[in-house]
Structure 1
């Protein structure tokens, strides 16, 4: 019995060491997936799906609502400071600080949704420079004008004891000619738009401090030109209070001059701009996360 081969030995003859090694070389064992690797793969798939969802750009409705809300906040706070100045003196520096800070806050809050234009002159200038889709221009202009008008209506209701909100309007005295007012508004809007092109639309610039730079530009523009023309730089900022007050004197100056200044600034900065180098890995990145930039869709 000791020498009797077992059933297993009879059915499967012994393989020599040489044969075993040969079989191992021909058909090596493949490692079976473990529970840990499967879980890691699931997590990886989930993370890939999450990143894809993050790249989905905002809809046209979301962009227009963001422009309306942002313009409302801008006009409400900035023009509200002018009305508060009649109750408690803020001085031109205080009013300028309010304008600059509220614009900075609105850029950081809504820039990743709509580009944070809040200004028809900015929208038209970017569209002319082919940095913004012309298809979105009518919706942006309408939302900006509506936001400015609603903000002015709100201020008239809150400051009804003052009788009117003409303190929020952009006007210049008779000692300032139309040409002088146009030059003032052209220059300060040129400075604002040139700064926007430099810090928010150029791929070489650092976007983290774009809101601070743009808000600071508005601040010192108002300190310099505010006592002379009101420092509009924004047709919606002048149109909203004018519609609510019913006073349209010299309104055309605050529509034409900012638009011309903004367009000229984009033209001048185009001379300084260099083409962005193409990188294949950047093809899936969403450009809608950049301030003021929305390419053709």
Structure 2
């Protein structure tokens, strides 16, 4: 879902990585875009995207299924927390391998901003949809018969209302991702926490309106398994447009006149502790 970065006091990246690259990375990627890059086999990236998307969708949609089947024991705040924590832990788990997109809208937004190679976009999106579909299928196998509830997303009100809400919350999400996960001046070590918290907040207030998808794969997987496609176009088109807008708006404010030495020196409050 997010490409994570982190830098140490010397301007080199620490435990988390920005823009994980391989030999297919476009030539316009520079060390200014990513201070440290290393080769990760493309198949490892794809497996990481499938696994990451699977566990993200399984955790989030399972919380919905449990809430529907067991007297709302999870509650709506509980569902919001589950989605947020699931995003956070998966970003920290595989962000250094695949960039932890888990979301076709995020992948496309990175590509249009020249932060991700276009030739890898189809494979990434295919893996994200596969992971989401497998997760939805697993949930359906676990909750059968009367417990088989649709855990996808459908508009609670009008299509226009849900379209607007999905656009806004995905814009918000991608704006945060662009800020904390792709800007060398940000606190890169906390990128997963920031992105997960944003998802939690979005689900908290937008869930009752649109389902708070923010992710075409999250809506498409359960729709394919349950054969329920009502309003699905909203959850494909609106998040893609919202993510594009969020990424481009952040790019308008990204640039700075500060020298690189000053930027990397102040990039994180975690780096200076214990130093004179």
Alignment TM-score > 0.5, same fold:
yes
Kept in 2: contact 1:155–1:165 (CA 8 A): no
User: 1:55 Cα deviation (Å)?
Assistant: 6.4
User: 1:164 Cα deviation (Å)?
Assistant: 2.6
Which of residues 103, 112, 116 is equivalent to 2:96? Answer: 112
Correspondence 1:203-242 to 2 at 5 A: 203-242=184-223
User: 1:226 Cα deviation (Å)?
Assistant: 0.2
Larger relative helix fraction: 1
1:252 is aligned to 233
Q: Secondary structure at the match of 1:183?
A: helix
Q: How many residues align?
A: 224
1:294 is aligned to none
Correspondence 1:76-95 to 2 at 5 A: 76-88=58-70, 89-95=73-79
TM-score norm. by structure 1 comes to 0.73
TM-score norm. by structure 2 comes to 0.78
Following the alignment from structure 1 to structure 2, what is the Cα–Cα distance between the partners of residues 55 and 261?
A: 29
Q: Secondary structure at the match of 2:68?
A: coil
Residues 253 and 108 (structure 1), Cα distance of their counterparts in 2 relative to 1, 3 Å cut = same
Asked if 1:98 is matched to 2:82, the reply is yes
User: 1:162 Cα deviation (Å)?
Assistant: 3.2
Following the alignment from structure 1 to structure 2, what is the Cα–Cα distance between the partners of residues 205 and 162?
A: 48
Following the alignment from structure 1 to structure 2, what is the Cα–Cα distance between the partners of residues 165 and 156?
A: 8
1:201 is aligned to 182
Kept in 1: contact 2:68–2:149 (CA 8 A): no
Q: Secondary structure at the match of 2:124?
A: helix
RMSD of the alignment, in Å? 1.7
Following the alignment from structure 1 to structure 2, what is the Cα–Cα distance between the partners of residues 206 and 163?
A: 43
Residues 199 and 56 (structure 1), Cα distance of their counterparts in 2 relative to 1, 3 Å cut = closer
1:153 is aligned to 137
Q: Secondary structure at the match of 2:188?
A: coil
Following the alignment from structure 1 to structure 2, what is the Cα–Cα distance between the partners of residues 142 and 200?
A: 23
Correspondence 1:178-189 to 2 at 5 A: 178-189=159-170
Kept in 1: contact 2:83–2:200 (CA 8 A): yes
Following the alignment from structure 2 to structure 1, what is the Cα–Cα distance between the partners of residues 222 and 239?
A: 17
Q: Secondary structure at the match of 1:248?
A: coil
Asked if 1:64 is matched to 2:46, the reply is yes
Unaligned runs of 5+ in 2: 1-35, 265-276
Higher Cα Rg, which structure: 1
2:152 is aligned to 169
Residues 240 and 127 (structure 1), Cα distance of their counterparts in 2 relative to 1, 3 Å cut = same
Kept in 2: contact 1:127–1:133 (CA 8 A): yes
User: 1:170 Cα deviation (Å)?
Assistant: 0.4
User: 1:163 Cα deviation (Å)?
Assistant: 4.8
Following the alignment from structure 1 to structure 2, what is the Cα–Cα distance between the partners of residues 95 and 132?
A: 31
